Each structure stands twice: as C-alpha cells, then as structure tokens.
Amino acid sequence: MAGRAGPAARGRRLRERLHVVVLAGGAGERFWPRSRRARPKPFLEVVDGKTLLEATLVRARALTDASRIWIVCGAEHAGALRRHTGLPASRLLVEPRRRNTAMATGLAAARIASVDPEAVLVTLAADHRVPSASAFAKACLRAARAADRAGVLVTLGIRPTRPETGYGYIRVGPAAGPAFPGLHRVGRFVEKPEARTARRFLKQGGFLWNAGIFASKAKTLLEEIAGLAPELDAALARLRPRGARAFSAAALRAAYAAAPSLPIDVAVLERSRKVWTLPVSFRWSDVGTWASLAEELGVDARHNAVVAGEAILEQSSGNLVWGAGRPLVLFGVEGLAVVDAGDAVLVAQLARSADLRSVVAALALRGHRELL
Amino acid sequence: MAGRAGPAARGRRLRERLHVVVLAGGAGERFWPRSRRARPKPFLEVVDGKTLLEATLVRARALTDASRIWIVCGAEHAGALRRHTGLPASRLLVEPRRRNTAMATGLAAARIASVDPEAVLVTLAADHRVPSASAFAKACLRAARAADRAGVLVTLGIRPTRPETGYGYIRVGPAAGPAFPGLHRVGRFVEKPEARTARRFLKQGGFLWNAGIFASKAKTLLEEIAGLAPELDAALARLRPRGARAFSAAALRAAYAAAPSLPIDVAVLERSRKVWTLPVSFRWSDVGTWASLAEELGVDARHNAVVAGEAILEQSSGNLVWGAGRPLVLFGVEGLAVVDAGDAVLVAQLARSADLRSVVAALALRGHRELL
C-alpha cells in the first residue's frame, strides 16, 4: 500500500505527492449547438445538473487534495474555468496557443516538478464521463503506485463492451511481473479501427480502449520526453531560461511557439518502452459525439433521452432531445439528436454525429460567427 | 359560349350570375405548429408570400366579380378572415357551430338564392393549392356552363398523377352526350383507397381525384338537397321562418342546431343521379399534410424545401424546413418536416404527417392550451 514502509516507499506518502492534471483543451465542435467556442464541451451539463468538468473535479478530489489539482486550458477559457472551478490562478496552466496534449502534459509535468520534484501525476481529460468515481479512484491509485515504484508510465485500459470504432485500442502485452499483479506491458497502441477489426478485437480479447488516462512520476515523464521527443523537450526547456524559478508569460509564449502539435500518445507513449497498462472494467466514455452521449444516457432502439427542457415524443424512439424553454415535439422519428440552443436548432442523425464539424464549418462559411 | 344567345341562354349572362362559394372551415391540426386554432390552414403562407386563402381568392376573382364571392367560416375565424380578405360582412357567412360541408354549402346556396334566384355556384375550399389560375378558371367556367344548361351538379375530377391514398376518387361514367363534349356522368364515388387499389386506379384509368370543387345552379343544389337529404333540408328551412327576408342570427342558430354534420359528398353528391364530372389535368393539391405540402414544394429524395427562415442543410435531403428567426440546422437527415413556430418546434417524419393530430392531442393532454 502507498505510504507503508516498503521497497518503493519515499520519504512522503504517495497520496501527498499525487497530483492530478486535468486537460481542458479542445473546441467541442461535435456538440454544437450546445457547445460553442466560448463554452466548450467540459462545460456541458449532461447529467444530474453537473458539467463534465465538475464531475471530473469530483473524481480528482477523490484521488488527492484539492491543492494538488491542476488544469491546463486555453486562454479563451481561463476566465470561465476559474469562475466554474474556483481553482487559484497558480494551478490553472493557461496555454498561449493550442498545441495538442503532448505540450499540455509536458507543461504540467515541468510546472509540477518545479514545485514537487517527487510528484506522481495522474493525467486525465476534463470532458470524459465515468459514472463510478470510486472504481475510478481505485484504479488510478493502483496505476499511480505502480508508476511510482517501477518508474514507468501506466495507462488505464478500459475493457471494451462493444466493437467501438471511435476509440484507439491498446494491445495487452506480457504481465509486468509478480510484484505488480494485474499490470501488463503495452504490446502496442492501435489507431481507431475499422468496424470489422473492432469486432475482431472484441471477440479475440486482449485489446483495451485507450482512455488517455495515465499515471507517471513527473520525473519519469520528463525523462521519456527528453529521450523520445527532442522537439517537445526543447520547447519545454524554454519555459525556464537560465534556471529562472518562475514560469514567465514571455517564456511560456516562447515555449509554445517552439512546441510541436502532437498528442502525448504519439509523442511519448507509443514510443516508450516504459509503458504499462492496467486493464479496468469500469464504465467510461469520452462522450465524443452526440451519439456517444445518447448511449451514455441510455438511448436505444426503444428509449429516448431528454437532457433538459420539455419534449413531447410521439411514436418516436432512439432520440436524444435537449430543449431550451419551448417544447420540442418529435413525431414518428428515430435516431435523431434534436438540440435547441435558443439561438439555433440542430436536427442531426445520431449515427452521423461524428462528422458534425462540417456543420460548424458551414456556419462559419455563412458568416454566423455568433453561433460558433 | 356563356352569354351568347343559344338554347340555354338566360336573360342574364352566366358570368353575371356566377357566384363563388369559398368554404373556410376546418381546424388545420395537420399543420401544427404553423397552424393553430386561431390561425387555421387557409392562413398558412406557403408559397410566394401568399396565404392559401389569398391564392384561392385570386382564383375566385378570375371566375367572377368580387361582389359575388362568398366565404363560409366559423365564428372563431370571422374577424381574421374579414381583416385578411376585406370582404364585407354581408358576404361572410358565419357558422355558429361547425357542421361539415353539407350544411355550409346548403347555407351558401340558400343565402345566395335569396338574393339571386338564377345564381350558378362554384363551390371550392379555401385551402387548396392550384398553381395555374387560368386552367382552373377555364375548367370551372366550363363546369358552370354545363351545370347551368343541363341543371346538374358538375364536379371537377383531377386526372391522377400518382397512386395517392389520401384522396377520394370518382369513377368516370358514360359521356354526358354530344351537347356536352368532355363531360361525363359520375359512375360512383370511391372512398380513399388502399395503396394497392390506388395503384390499380392509376394503371387502369377512368378514375379521377375528387377535389371537392363543383358547379351547380343554387336552385338545382337546393332541389337535390330537398329530394335526397331531408334532415339538411329541414335545417335549411329554419333559416327563413315564415318567409322572413333576412337571415337572423337566431334563425341561423336554430338551423345549425338542427343540421346534420355531413360532408356534401355524402349528403348529396353520392346519392344524386344528376352528378356529372369534368375530367381536368391541371395540378391540384388539397395540401392536407406536411407531406403533401412538401410534395407541392418539390421536395423529393434529392431536394429539400425551405418555406421560410434560414436553414442550413448538410448531407440532408427530402426535408421540408420552416424557420422562425433562428437558423435551423439539419445534418444527415431525410424525409423530415422541421418546423419552428417560435414557441414550439416540430420534428416529424413527413411520411407519417397525416397522423399529426395525435401530437396536437398530446399537447392538449399536457395542458399546452397556448400551443393549440
């Protein structure tokens, strides 16, 4: 157990060195018209009146003290995030431009290591949904302990429940060893598969969904970046020129100007030989599309879901409805997202909601900047 | 030609005795949320910024002088109709209660006969759509002339262009005779058929759509009512008790209290041996449902129609869209009516729009009186 005296014990208990990094980037175009540039997906109130971000912070607080929770976000959302979370400015890491998750994660690791060199990080996204906070906490702590003791990166692998083509997969490798029961080396990372491949993964077993949740010592992550991602490493080096203590705004801008735009998976995890995975079985969704939200809310061939507002559903099934002050009336329709945002109404086939970006592009072309 | 001296010429030219009766009853539930109790289907602005009623009056004026156009309507719409049409109150025949088209037509015939005993009537609905006003006028005048000369009821029969199951049919009987080229006796009236029967009608020929447009002398119609519909005749007799000249409000109420609620087809046309039909080929629609309106507007498997407002259509086809001040965005959907009325939004499968009444019933059950 973390904190007990043992071969991997440090001077301080793990719990006191555990930091949670919440990545809150992303534009959220796939939830238009409910998500907008100024109000991206983490701010969606999808269930129980909580936003995805609020639910994420509840999970983070189950892992560690509120003083060790960090959020990485874009400048355009920093104000809203502070109001929404009450987080002090010092733990809001504001990116001067969007540079994907490798730089966001690297920034967090560098910043946290500067205040706590023995820090162990759990990195996760602000806009996923995990109904069971306790199962999540248990798995994250187990991953963090292994990462701490073995000096590895431990990514959570969700056991798939359907042949999902919207997620990347992790091929489970050999067991990590008797000291780490249940943990495995990563065989390889697999890009989002075709439907047939996804069905084979499910049938064959040994493949897990890559949820993008991983634990590592800050030090381990920075070492792996140094060894595997020299461009990213060089960008991070600019954060503290000539050993400066603070992270100045100018240094941050310089670092981001030099940063590559890569996901952390591509920049580090897929290349590293120190990546393990912890297979877990809790329910998880990246809530990536209206369709996956619908699924999360229990929409199926017989059931509709009404997120908010008043809906009158006649001879209709399999729809997700989100109203805004006036009744939405569905009659004889199936498999739709019907979303009223007050200033615009979307009627979309759920099955095609992964391509909703083309709608947002069409709005931009028509000059509807107020709706973006 | 009407007006020329000839075997059937009267003292006055036909055109001077031709009255148009516009029936403007009906609740228009099938166009919810655009049509409401207080703003029924004739008030729908469906094409070229004209309401169906306005377009009907344009057609009526092509037939006769504005002073011989009459509208029969319910009390709840009388005010709106007067404002909308500028018709003097004397030619607005306001029904104290709804009693279907037999009583409405009988009232008009009795009223018009009281001011013009030699009147020839063309009776039509306020809410149909006929793109060609000139073809329509030509056919109506031809029917009116035959009705005048032969003392018969002449109903227009539209040559079908598709196996429509939403209309009643007229079986064409033998030719009316050498003096009336093109006119036929009615074989029989056929109720709305099953799809298979409708396909047979189309293939076999000799079946016409019953458009509910017919010409007759007022006198002929009243005689047929007297002979075939004694209940209706008795109700009409109450309109002028003891030879009173005016139609008093009390007499009207008494007449309507006694009136049967029947369509004129059932009460008279289907029973009369004096019913002819004039087959015509102009485009006509009763615009009975969102689906038939969509068809009128050229919606098909490849085309959408936007009646009003702004619509953004991505990867969508076969939809009818009617906006109200905010963009309606359709993505990846087919065959829908998406109608924003400001205070409610309808998303309905066009193919099922004939059953939209169940939606209005559901609204009533939920206490949404303001939306009815």
Q: Which residue of B has its CA nearest to A327?
A: B344
**φ, ψ for residue A316 (rounded to 5)?**
-130, 145
- Residue B260: is its pLDDT beyond 80? yes
Q: Pick B353 or A157 by higher pLDDT.
A: A157
Q: Which residues of A touch B (CB under 8 A)?
A: 33, 312, 314-315, 326-333, 336, 338, 340, 342-349, 351-353, 355-356, 358-359, 362-363, 366, 368, 371
Q: Give residue A340's identity as a one-letter amino acid code.
A: D
What is the pLDDT confidence band of residue B5, given thresholds at 50, 70 and 90?
Answer: very low
B152 CB contacts (<8 Å, ≥6 apart)?
Answer: B146, B216, B220, B274, B275, B276
Q: Hey, are the CB atoms on A332 and B349 less than 8 Å from each other?
A: yes
Min CA distance, A199 vs chain B (Å)?
Answer: 25
> What's the pLDDT at A1?
40
pLDDT of residue A45: 87
User: With 60 as the cut, is the pLDDT of residue B98 above it?
Assistant: yes
Asked if A319 and A335 touch (Cβ cutoff 8 Å), the reply is: yes
Contact (CB, 8 A) for B278 and B157: yes
Q: Chain A: residue nearest B32 by CA?
A: A329
Angstroms from B209 CA to nearest CA on chain A: 28
A172, A257: one domain = yes
Question: What residue of B is the nearest CA neighbor of A335?
Answer: B333
Q: What are the pLDDT digits (tens) for B46-73?
A: 877 889 999 999 999 999 999 999 999 9
Is the domain of A311 the same as that of A171? no
DSSP secondary structure, A35-74, as one string: SBTTB-GGG-EEETTEEHHHHHHHHHHTTS-GGGEEEEEE
pLDDT tens per residue, range B200-210: 999 999 999 99
Chain B residue numbers with beta carbons less than 8 Å from the beta carbon of A332 are: 348-349, 351-353, 355
Do A13 and A337 contact (CB within 8 A), yes or no? Answer: no
Nearest chain A Cα distance for residue B275, angstroms: 40
Please compute the mean of the pLDDT values over residues B87-112 and round it to a whole number. 95
* pLDDT value of position B132: 92
Find how far residue A9's CA is from the centre of its chain.
Answer: 29
Whether the CB-CB separation of A296 and A283 falls below 8 Å is answered with no
B241 pLDDT tier (thresholds 50, 70, 90): confident
Name the one residue in this structure whose structure tokens are 């890569």.
A262
Q: Kindly state the DSSP code that residue A251 receives in the 8-state scheme.
A: H
Report residue B323: phi and psi, to 5°.
Answer: -95, 175
Which of A36, A314, A371, A372 is the best substitution to test chain B (most B C-beta atoms within 10 A)?
A314
Edge-first strand order for the sheet with B305-308 is A311-314, A328-331, B345-349, B336-340, B320-322, B305-308
User: Cβ–Cβ of B346/A331 closer than 8 Å?
Assistant: yes
Residues A201 and A318 placed together within one structural domain of the fold: no
Other beta carbons within 10 angstroms of residue A1's beta carbon come to 9
Q: Are A44 and A56 in contact (CB under 8 A)?
A: no
Distance from CA of A255 to the nearest CA of B (A): 40
Residue B25 lies in a domain: yes
Q: How confident is the model at residue B240 (pLDDT cuts 50, 70, 90)?
A: confident
Residue numbers in B near A304 (CB within 8 A): none
Choose, out of A317, A320, A329, A333, the residue to mutate when testing the contact with B (most B CBs < 10 Å).
A329
The answer to the question of residue B27 being in a domain is yes
Q: Would residue B5 count as lying in a domain?
A: no
* pLDDT number for residue A136: 97
Segments of chain A with pLDDT less than 50: 1-10
Residue whose pair of structure tokens reads 């359907």 in the numeric block: A162
- The residue of chain B with its CA nearest to that of A322 is B345
CATH number, residue A129: 3.90.550.10
β-pairing, B120-125 with B207-217?
antiparallel
Residue of A nearest to B333 (CA): A349
CA B7 to each of CA B63, B100, B181, B220: distance values in angstroms, whole numbers, following the listed order: 23, 37, 16, 18
Domain count, chain B: 2
Could B344 and A336 be called an inter-chain contact, meaning their C-beta atoms sit closer than 8 Å? Answer: no
pLDDT for the residue numbered B29: 81
Do A119 and A169 form a contact (C-beta atoms < 8 A)?
no
Helix (H, G, I), strand (E, B) or coil at A348: strand
Q: Do you know the residue count of chain A?
A: 372
pLDDT band with cut points at 50, 70 and 90 for residue B245: low
DSSP string, A68-129: GEEEEEEHHHHHHHHHHH---GGGEEEESS--HHHHHHHHHHHHHHHH-TT-EEEEEETT-B
Tell whether B188 is covered by a domain.
yes
State the DSSP string of B30-99. Answer: GGTTTSBTTB-GGG-EEETTEEHHHHHHHHHHHHS-GGGEEEEEEHHHHHHHHHHH---GGGEEEESS--
- For residue A127, being part of any structural domain is answered with yes
Q: Is residue B1 part of a domain?
A: no
Q: Is the peptide bond before B33 cis (omega within 30 degrees of 0)?
A: yes
Task: Please give the structure tokens belonging to residue B257.
Answer: 């209290």
Interface mutation vs chain A, best among B334, B345, B368, most A CBs within 10 Å: B345
* Nearest-by-CA chain B residue for A358: B314
Q: Tell me what the mean pLDDT of segment B177-182 comes to.
A: 96
Q: Three-class SS of residue B266?
A: helix
Dihedral sign, Cα of residue A186, residue A187, residue A188, residue A193: negative
From chain B, pick out residues whose CB is under 8 angstroms from the CB of A352.
315, 331-332
- In terms of domains, do B58 and B87 share one? yes
pLDDT at A47: 73
A177 and A320: one domain? no
A332 and B355 within 8 Å at the Cβ level: the answer is yes
- How many CA atoms within 13 Å lie on the side-chain side of B114? 17
- Which residues from A are below 8 Å from B362, CB to CB? 312, 314
CA distance A116 to A351: 46
Maximum CA extent, chain A: 69
Q: What is each CA distance from A24 to A78, A98, A139, in whole angstroms?
A: 10, 11, 21
pLDDT of residue B233 exceeding 90: yes
Å between A48 CA and nearest CA of chain B: 24
A253/A319 same-domain check: no
Residues A275 and A296 in one domain: no
Q: How many CB pairs under 8 A join A and B?
A: 114
Q: Is the same domain home to A238 and A262? A: yes
Judged against a pLDDT cut of 90, whether residue B39 lies above it is answered with no
- The candidate with the shortest Cα–Cα distance to A198, out of A188, A209, A187, is A209
- B30 to chain A, closest Cα gap in Å: 12
**Assigned token pair, B141:** 């005048």
Calpha distance B353→A247 (Å, rounded): 63
In the sheet with A345-349, reading across from the earlier edge strand, the strands are A305-308, A320-322, A336-340, A345-349, B328-331, B311-314
Pair B78, B178 in one domain: yes
User: What would the mean pLDDT of B214-222 be, rounded to a whole number?
Assistant: 98
Q: Distance, in angstroms, between A289 CA and closest chain B CA?
A: 14
For residue range A304-352, list pLDDT tens digits in order. Answer: 999 999 999 999 999 999 999 899 999 999 999 999 999 999 999 999 9
Rounded to whole angstroms, the maximal C-alpha distance in chain B is 69
Do B294 and B276 belong to one domain?
no
- For residues B270 and B325, membership in a common domain is answered with no
Q: Please state the ipTM of this predicted complex.
A: 0.84
pLDDT at res. A7: 46
Return the residue matching tokens 């979303």.
A339
* C-alpha distance from A292 to closest chain B C-alpha (Å): 17
Residue A44's Cβ-side half-sphere holds a number of Cα atoms within 13 Å equal to 33
Q: Taking Cα atoms as reference points, which of A276, A252, A245, A260 lies closest to residue A113?
A: A245
Tell me: pLDDT of B164 over 70.
Answer: yes
Where among B249, B280, B311 does a domain terminate?
B280
The closest alpha carbon to A247, from A340, A52, A108, A128, belongs to A108
Instruction: Tell me how far apart the alpha carbons of residues A204 and B367 are, in angstroms, rounded to a whole number.
Output: 54
Distance CA(B105)–CA(B121), nearest Å, equals 10
Residue of B327, B338, B371 lying closest to A344 (CB–CB): B327
Q: Which residues of A touch B330 (CB under 8 A)?
A: 347-348
B252 shares a domain with B172:
yes
Q: Which pLDDT value is given to residue B67?
A: 96
Helix (H) or strand (E) holding B275: strand B275-280
Contacts of B346 in chain A (CB under 8 A): 329, 331
What is the predicted pLDDT for the residue at B243? 66
- Chain A residues touching residue B331 (CB < 8 angstroms): 346-349, 352-353, 355-356, 358-359
Quick one: pLDDT band at residue B84, thresholds 50, 70, 90? Answer: confident
Instruction: Show which of B258, B280, B302 is a domain's final residue.
Output: B280
Tokens standing for residue A255: 């670092």
By residue range, what is the domain housing residue B228?
14-280
Domain membership of residue B285 (yes or no) is no
